[in-house]
Amino acid sequence: MKKNVLFLFLLFIFQIAGCKQNEIKKNNEIKESIENKPTTSINFLSFLDEICWEGHKGVFKNCDELFTDKGHMFFIIIPKGGAENWYNKQMNNFSVKDVWKKEDKILEQINKCLVSNLEKDFNIWVFYVDVKFLKRNPDMDSPYSPVNPRKVQVCFYKEKLKRWDVIDVIDINNEKDESNFNNWRENYINSIVKKSNESSNNSSEDKIKISQKWQGKFSRNFTEKFNDGSNSSWVYYFIIESNKVVFKSDSELPIESEYKGLERNNQLELFEGDNKQPSYIIKEDGGKFYIQSDSFENRKGWLLLDKN
């Protein structure tokens, strides 16, 4: 009887050890599969010198056809905080009413710090064709042109790992494949933009309760005078509730976005996203409310708000 009990006990110990070994083996296989994910050593960003709007709000691409000695590159660049959410917040940073002027200013700011901050604040994809699948055009404006058959690698930059992963490879053998690929790429871009916006809308943000003193609907009128003597006017609205601040503008393209409110030093600071500096500051003086922002022409001045 004692021998049987001892045998069963030893069998139980061996089974536990076997399970642990299998678990370690499985974890090592997962780790190995991650580490062995196809990558490329090409530093794509070193070839990117300017970006432009892609078409979706908050989405960018390289401005011109980018043929290099490494191959052809087509960039898609999307803010990590969500494309539309990021776009609306950036547009709110400028008091000018003209939408195109605002977008030009956004592009100007991004292109100034293109190399240093792009991978930190944006998700980046590259559709890449190796130079071996290109034909030289010595007497033409474009130095290369693609040939069939060829392969298109879809690469994504892993900012934490500091590497480019090859997440898909598409074979193009003929004109039909070419047409199918163009449709596939358009649908793929639409899907990652949609996913970006849905992720932003579904993300949970800590809400800080705003006291009754600040709650209400506030507005401020702005006017811009042009060189031809004409004027343009628009209104900023701030709807302050107990757990959020909604910003609206009656500009040519209606804008609406949400801010977090933080009461400090008898002022209400409004923050966009994860920014450490407030986009707007509201103060109360003698029963009247005033607003200040770096986006205003007079950055340090306080502008009177109308409370409705």
pLDDT in tens, 36-49: 568 889 999 999 99
Residue type, 239: I
Does the pLDDT value for residue 94 go beyond 80?
Answer: no
Portion of the chain with pLDDT greater than 90, in percent: 49
Report angle CA 207, 208, 212 to the nearest 5 degrees.
Answer: 125
Decide which of 214 and 3 is more confident: 214
pLDDT of residue 1: 52
CB atoms within 10 A of CB 177: 17
Range of lowest pLDDT (246-250, 272-276, 288-292): 272-276
In whole numbers, what is the pLDDT of the chain averaged over residues? 84
Does the pLDDT value for residue 205 go beyond 70?
Answer: no
User: For residues 192 and 78, what is the distance between their CA atoms, to the nearest angstrom?
Assistant: 9
Q: DSSP class of residue 213?
A: G
The domains located in the chain, with CATH, are 39-202 (no CATH), 212-307 (2.40.128)
Decide which of 118 and 35 is more confident: 118
Alpha helices in 78-163 (DSSP H): 83-92, 99-112, 114-121
User: Span 129-158, mean pLDDT?
Assistant: 93
pLDDT of residue 238: 96
Range of lowest pLDDT (22-31, 70-79, 137-146): 22-31
CB atoms within 10 A of CB 99: 14
Does the pLDDT value for residue 13 go beyond 60?
Answer: no
User: For residues 160 and 163, what is the distance between their CA atoms, to the nearest angstrom?
Assistant: 8
Question: 284, 277 in Cβ contact below 8 A?
Answer: no
Does the pLDDT value for residue 204 go beyond 70?
Answer: no
pLDDT of residue 24: 45
